[in-house]
Structure 1
Amino acid sequence: MSQNTLKVHDLNEDAEFDENGVEAFDEKALSEEEPSDNDLAEEELLSQGATQRVLDATQLYLGEIGYSPLLTAEEEVYFARRALRGDVASRRRMIESNLRLVVKIARRYGNRGLALLDLIEEGNLGLIRAVEKFDPERGFRFSTYATWWIRQTIERAIMNQTRTIRLPIHIVKELNVYLRTARELSHKLDHEPSAEEIAEQLDKPVDDVSRMLRLNERITSVDTPLGGDSEKALLDILADEKENGPEDTTQDDDMKQSIVKWLF
């Protein structure tokens, strides 16, 4: 890929993180996170995991969490208040009752570089954090509040674990500004924007934009299989710049034979 052309990836462009690397909480976003009736129905379907025929690790996990009933709004307030007072059993009940919510959210982040079980594990950490931070007196449902934390922990894990070289959070924030601008320009211009076009839009130096865009390039292992029926890896087809190619070797051999013929 050219250094002056950006391939837009699905990162969390609008993320703003605090000093601990967790996106700053915005209560205004809660209204957008409230699960719909369809979402809650989907969560209920997950409870039928015991009837799954394929007993792989994911299905076994879904079967186990399907036995935990969902909490009503009144139960959420009751257990949340007790959890804040240090009641371990209430804290555990709130976590176990929302594990299916984690699975539902984690499924939206498939094909982003992490396996589903890894996404679920990260989401569970966000759920635990939500239980610790939830204030039942604020007036909104716990599922809404937990959804926000689950999404942030999953997105942060994708940023950190899918990159061979981890970028500092402040660099990710700056890069996301360019990614968001690039996406807007790609819709407006009907082509992938160049570094010059992004720099002009943001009133930034082109060199700075080009340097940041290079950080978004993906690193591929030389051991990556070529796919298909081939058993070769990428390493098998990469040319060694220190060695002559076949055409150079053939030309050198012909030249040597001609010199020998002329001399003798």
Structure 2
Amino acid sequence: MSLHRVASTSPTRPPIDLAEFDADAKPAPDDDDVQALRLPITNGADVELGNALQAYLRDIRRTPLLTPQQEYDTAVRARAGEFAARQAMIQHNLRLVVSIAKNYLGRGLPMSDLIEEGNLGLMHAIGKFEPERGFRFSTYASWWIRQSIERALMHQARLVRLPVHIVRELNQVLKARRALEALASQNGGEAQVRADEVAAALGRPLSEVSELLAYAELPSSLDSPVDRNGEGGESMMDLVADEQAVDPMGLRLSHELEELLAHGLAALNDREREVLAGRYGLADREPETLDVLAIRLGLTRERIRQIQIEALNKLKRNMMRHGISRDAIF
């Protein structure tokens, strides 16, 4: 059943509590009994259900659950190819899809998309269900519904797709973490569960669990608003440094150092300036080796090294008189 085929209801109707769609919840006969609650999301945020989705939820809440015998008889007829029986199996199990889909909120897909994907899994399960085996349909269909939703999350909710086996392992880790969080909340403790606690519960190495949990992190938009000190008006992009931007203080310091270096080099003789310029690539020159300088200047390699040391000592003394260490230049 598609959400888009349901007409929107009046905006004055109260939102529906998804807790009413738990597997053991009973359908409510009247909209007046619906409490005005908000839809919980795993990251702590609250959003109002859209009118189309509210209309869909109200519609399927009016459909009663099938008794075991009714389910068996309908499933047998559906397996025999009866279209009306297949439609009845879908209609009477849409609440099961919602009860499963709401557990996947906050992972990158909205509730409406989760329900749509879960409904596809439900229809696939109806085609494969064998009622004569004696299992309840809800038990059998739950696996297909989860598979359909998880596959959609893998392909649609992530910028980078994960292999199917990684998704399965990640879902196991997330399920264990949610169970530990629920247990901690019931005991009045901290709901935040550490990776090492999840690893201990699963009996897996901490490194593997930490790596899998890293896959669960969803990317954030650089346009996301950031509220610092309650001021607001900023986005994450405003807080990212521009590596190509010119630092005014750094530029000024660089100019001052260049002036001091030029002043220090002016105190050297021509040969000393040439050796330092060649060795350190000054004045936009390419650095040269001792051998290259020795050939070009007609001196020995050792003599070039001596001139370099003498010139550096002179330059160092000149720089120190201005409070600048040689390391700041070379």
Q: Taking structure 2 as the reference length, what is the TM-score of the superposition?
A: 0.51
Q: Does 1:68 align with 2:51?
A: no
Structure 2: unaligned runs, 5 residues or longer: 1-20, 37-48, 179-192, 264-330
Pairwise mapping of residues 43-192 of structure 1 onto structure 2 (< 5 A)? 43-45=26-28, 48-49=30-31, 52=34, 56-173=51-168, 192=195
Partner of 1:219: 219
Structure 1: unaligned runs, 5 residues or longer: 1-37, 184-189
Q: Is the 8 Å Cα contact of residues 224 and 236 (structure 2) preserved in structure 1?
A: yes
Mean Cα displacement is larger for which, 167-176 or 235-244? 167-176
Distance (whole Å) between structure 1 residues aligned to residue 67 and residue 120 of structure 2 = 22
Q: Is the 8 Å Cα contact of residues 195 and 210 (structure 2) preserved in structure 1?
A: no
Partner of 2:233: 231
Partner of 2:296: none
CA deviation string 1:62-102 (max 9, x = no partner): 12113322211111111111111211111001100111121
Q: Is the 8 Å Cα contact of residues 119 and 154 (structure 1) preserved in structure 2?
A: yes
Q: What is the Cα deviation at residue 171 of structure 1? A: 4.3
Q: Is the 8 Å Cα contact of residues 127 and 146 (structure 1) preserved in structure 2?
A: yes
Distance (whole Å) between structure 1 residues aligned to residue 162 and residue 102 of structure 2 = 25
Q: Is the 8 Å Cα contact of residues 79 and 94 (structure 1) preserved in structure 2?
A: yes
CA deviation string 1:205-261 (max 9, x = no partner): x9x9998887565432222222565232211210122223xxx32232356479889
Q: Is the 8 Å Cα contact of residues 123 and 154 (structure 1) preserved in structure 2?
A: yes
Give the superposed CA RMSD. 4.4
Distance (whole Å) between structure 2 residues aligned to residue 180 and residue 71 of structure 1 = 29
Distance (whole Å) between structure 2 residues aligned to residue 233 and residue 111 of structure 1 = 21
Partner of 1:27: none
How many pairs align?
214
Distance (whole Å) between structure 2 residues aligned to residue 106 and residue 209 of structure 1 = 24
Q: Which structure has the bigger radius of gyration?
A: 2
User: Taking structure 1 as reference, are residues 215 and 154 closer, same or farther at Cα in structure 2, changes over 3 Å only?
Assistant: closer
